């Protein structure tokens, strides 16, 4: 994810601090099981930021359509 974070809550990151992200978001019609090439391992922090940013982008796009 390009994240520079090496610790969370004072502890080094481990596998429990990671989440799998769908490259093509489910909310945008991406496949639930896209295969390994359609997934990216990200820190929970980066995954949350990406998900929030994309959701805001969808909301803004809908406002401009009205």
Burial of 59 (0-12, 13-18, 19+ CB in 10 A): exposed
Give yes or no for residue 17 having a pLDDT over 70: yes
3-state secondary structure of 18: strand
Give yes or no for residue 2 having a pLDDT over 90: no
Task: Return the pLDDT at 56.
Answer: 94
Which pLDDT band holds residue 66 (cuts at 50, 70, 90)?
A: low
Which pLDDT band holds residue 31 (cuts at 50, 70, 90)?
A: confident
Q: Residue range 25-46: average pLDDT?
A: 85
């Amino acid at each position: 994810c390009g994240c520079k974070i090496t610790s969370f809550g004072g502890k080094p990151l481990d596998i429990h601090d990671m989440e799998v992200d769908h490259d093509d978001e489910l909310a945008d019609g991406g496949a639930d099981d896209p295969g390994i090439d359609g997934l990216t391992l990200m820190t929970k922090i980066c995954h949350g930021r990406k998900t929030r940013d994309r959701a805001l982008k969808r909301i803004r796009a809908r406002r401009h359509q009205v």
